[in-house]
Chains A and B, each alone.
Chain A
Amino acid sequence: MAGTWGRLNIAALVLGFAFLYLPIVLLVIYSFNESRLVTVWAGFSTKWYVALLSNQGLMDAAWVTARVAFLSATVATVLGTMAAVSLTRYTRFRGRVLFSGMVFAPLVMPEVITGLSLLLLFVAINFDRGFATVTIAHITFSMCFVAVVVQSRLMSFDEALEEAALDLGATPVGAFFQVTLPVILPAVVSGWMLAFTLSLDDLVIASFTSGPGATTLPMKIYSQVRLGVTPEINAICTILIGVVTVGVIAASLITKTRDVQRRRDEQLAERI
């Protein structure tokens, strides 16, 4: 039960969210600025968005990024889910401590270290850097985020469900695909989304592991940001923010409507 929701609490939230959102909102607003001077408002314009479309380099980078993000998120989701299952279900196997260490460490590992070490690996085995190496690098760190998300869902999963499936004659493999996976699916999906955006956002690891012809969007943005703030960058940032925001809100709305529907069904079931 919540206590009194005092004025201080509300003030803390208002200030906190203002701090979190104001910079982003300003960035979005100034992407519609007529003037090239980003900080002087000169009227509404969408010309920077139009300019983006004719920027071939940026478009190429966006396409590379989208492919890397899709592929790495998909593989990372499979691997991360497997890791989560082995960590929650198989409590005893050789090297489990090392395994769980390797799953958690990338969450906090400075990106420069991860990036450098992967690059040196690729150089050591003479693997040409490019699309494949960026994808592998992204799979490696985002699978750990997927593992954590899925693991927390598996933790609250009632194992009796799986046991019931076994009792009714399903094989362990069948029980996993027919019972466990459908139940944890929302977590797996949000793990995929997380992996996708992590890949979409990554600059440091991509800079280390990418090669010629595989410049990602963040790398492109970064090289332009270093030259100064321009409305063009604001525009591309706004598009990226828009894509991610719409994705996240859509996903949470779907979950929410499903919850509401479910609660309504339950109430209906009670009444009958």
Chain B
Amino acid sequence: MNRALSAIFRRLVIVVPYAWLLVFFLVPFFIVFKISLSQTAIAMPPYVPTFGLAEGWSALFGRLGELSFENYVWLFGDPLYVNAYLSSVWIAGVSTALTLAVGYPIAYGMARAPSSVRPLLLMLVILPFWTSFLIRVYAWIGILKPEGLLNQFLFFLGVIDQPLIILNTTTAIYIGIVYSYLPFMVLPLYATLEKMDYSLIEAAGDLGCPPLTAFWKITFPLSLPGVLAGCMLVFIPAVGEFVIPDLLGGPRTLMIGKTLWTEFFNNRDWPVASAVAVILLIILVVPIVFFQRAQARAQEAGR
């Protein structure tokens, strides 16, 4: 009796979340893919379905030949989309590098702090992460705009006599991404740096290595798993970022998340929006799989 109950319990524990994710995470991707192969229509929903499972599998195979790759042809034919993809990857890449440059010294400083203050520092890094993303991006508008606080401050210092135009430029996007994603970079870096045996650095010093060389030869290579995890956590979502380019970026900065949003909400072109999403997913599949592998490996190691 008990044994049967346990088996049911065990099965439920696996099946319920599994089914949930299948239905609400995996299946939707197939729907996105399907709709990306449909044609646009002015209707509700605004697309003409190409095929449906309702007609059975045989019918499905029969109609495979009728699939419309029109949306993809359209995407690749229009330099707007191609440029949006390229500049998204470029902006995300540059921002990731900048986030690493800003985040590494913070993580290092935290890991070397006396162990009594480390929990406090950790909390200080996590706290902004709990506050709304939207709010944090919004806060920068007031700082970066031409009559904003940064320009006021620089005027006050006498550094500039013309306001710096930062808001609605790519620079503002960089600032926004670095700022919003900084905790995602600092936390995995801190985790690897904090775990590192300090006697390794002492051993390097003992063997004749000055501190800076010891950093590059020992600390940095050993922190690479954290560097990679942090970069993935910043890069992948940054490629598809919408809020930051929308609020801080200018009309001339193209990012694919914003393009998708515009296609969907403004142009109401669902099939093209879906095709945009499919291509974005294809671009991100390599880093995502890479990230999961690394995550799984870290898990195995932690076992």
- Interface residue ranges, A against B (CB under 8 Å): 1-6, 8-10, 12-13, 16-17, 19-21, 23-24, 26-27, 30, 38-39, 79-80, 82-83, 85-86, 90, 93, 95, 98-114, 116-118, 120-121, 123-124, 136-137, 139-140, 143-144, 147, 151-152, 155, 171-173, 176, 197, 200-201, 203-204, 207-208, 218, 221-222, 225-226, 229, 233-234, 237, 240-241, 244-245, 247-248, 252, 256
A42 CA / B143 CA spacing, docked (Å): 17
Q: A110-B240, A136-B24, A233-B138 are in contact. List 8 more A-B contacts (CB 8 A).
A: A24-B139, A109-B284, A111-B237, A116-B260, A147-B17, A171-B6, A226-B247, A229-B142
Q: Contact: B131 with A24, CB < 8 Å? A: yes
A116 CA / B152 CA spacing, docked (Å): 41
Q: Contact: A23 with B13, CB < 8 Å? A: no
Interface size of B in residues (CB-CB distance below 8 Å): 100
The DSSP consensus for interface residues of chain A is helix
Q: Contact: B136 with A9, CB < 8 Å? A: no
Jot down 20 A-B pairs with beta carbons below 8 A, ordered by A: A3-B202, A12-B105, A19-B102, A20-B128, A24-B131, A39-B149, A79-B20, A86-B13, A93-B14, A104-B291, A108-B237, A109-B240, A112-B280, A116-B274, A117-B277, A121-B28, A151-B299, A155-B303, A237-B132, A240-B131
Interface window among B56-64, B110-118, B154-162: B110-118
Binary flags per residue of B4-45, CB closer than 8 Å to A gives 1, else 0: 011001101110111011111111110110010000000001
List residues of chain B with CB within 8 A of the CB of A19: 102, 179, 182
A266 CA / B135 CA spacing, docked (Å): 43
Q: Contact: B21 with A82, CB < 8 Å? A: no
Kindly state whether residue B267 has any CB partner on chain A within 8 Å: no
- Interface residue ranges, B against A (CB under 8 Å): 2, 5-6, 9-10, 12-14, 16-18, 20-29, 31-32, 35, 45, 102-103, 105-106, 108-110, 112-115, 119, 121, 123-128, 130-136, 138-143, 145, 147-149, 152, 179, 182-183, 186, 198-199, 201-202, 232-233, 236-237, 239-243, 247, 257, 260-261, 264-265, 270, 273-274, 277, 280-281, 284, 288, 291-292, 295-296, 299, 302-303
Q: Contact: A2 with B198, CB < 8 Å? A: yes
Residue on B nearest A151 in the bound complex, by CB: B299
